[in-house]
Amino acid sequence: MLKLTTAHTGKMKNIWSLSTSTKTNPNCERNAQIKGSVCEKCYARKQMKMYKQMSPCYERNAEILTSRLLDDNELPTVPVIYFRFEAFGDLINWVQCANYFRIARKNPQTKFCLFTKNPRIVSEAVEAGEKKPRNLVIVQSSLFLNQQAKPANKYIDKVFTVYDNCDGVEISCGARNCFECHKCYKKTRDVEYINEKLK
């Protein structure tokens, strides 16, 4: 059974999530080796070292989500307004992305947001026959600090970039309360760039 996180603290208070482990994700491992990348100083990895009970749950989630397409009765019911896919990990393969699509379709009343540094996997899921749900916003996270990525494909709704040098940059993410802000969960007609100041 998938393990949902229902009691976040800090900026994600009141938002539920479903995450996988960075430790078992080859994409995360590869990005962590890139000098100057935000993944080089991965906060999720630090959190999992501090809270050791997180790792087994997230590793199990990854195993369930990436191995096969789940049936409707295996998908969680989500009784909340906002829900985030991958508050800690990232996409591993197209099967995982397709399962996220299916969870969003099962819960049309909820606004879902998927953060990823692997947008090609989203394309692979669509090419495999999975349709992107209307209630899902896909946010491409920029790999490098202070370097805004370009949307990799037409399925990307927003681009999220972290800055430590904010000169001339409009900081649009307050990084205080996602539930009240919810910019990342809002559908827009064009790509919206969301910028956060490094904590």
Sheet arrangement for strand 82-85 = 16-18, 82-85, 111-116, 136-141, 158-163, 192-197
Q: Which of 197, 194, 175 is nearest to 11 (CA)?
A: 175
| Residue among 109, 110, 114, 107 at smallest CA distance from 72 | 107
Task: Render each residue's pLDDT in the chain as its tens digit; 199 residues.
Answer: 999 999 888 888 999 999 998 888 887 777 767 787 777 676 666 666 656 666 789 999 999 999 999 999 999 999 999 999 999 899 999 999 999 999 999 999 999 999 999 999 999 999 999 999 999 999 999 999 999 999 999 999 999 999 988 888 888 886 578 998 888 998 877 778 999 888 7
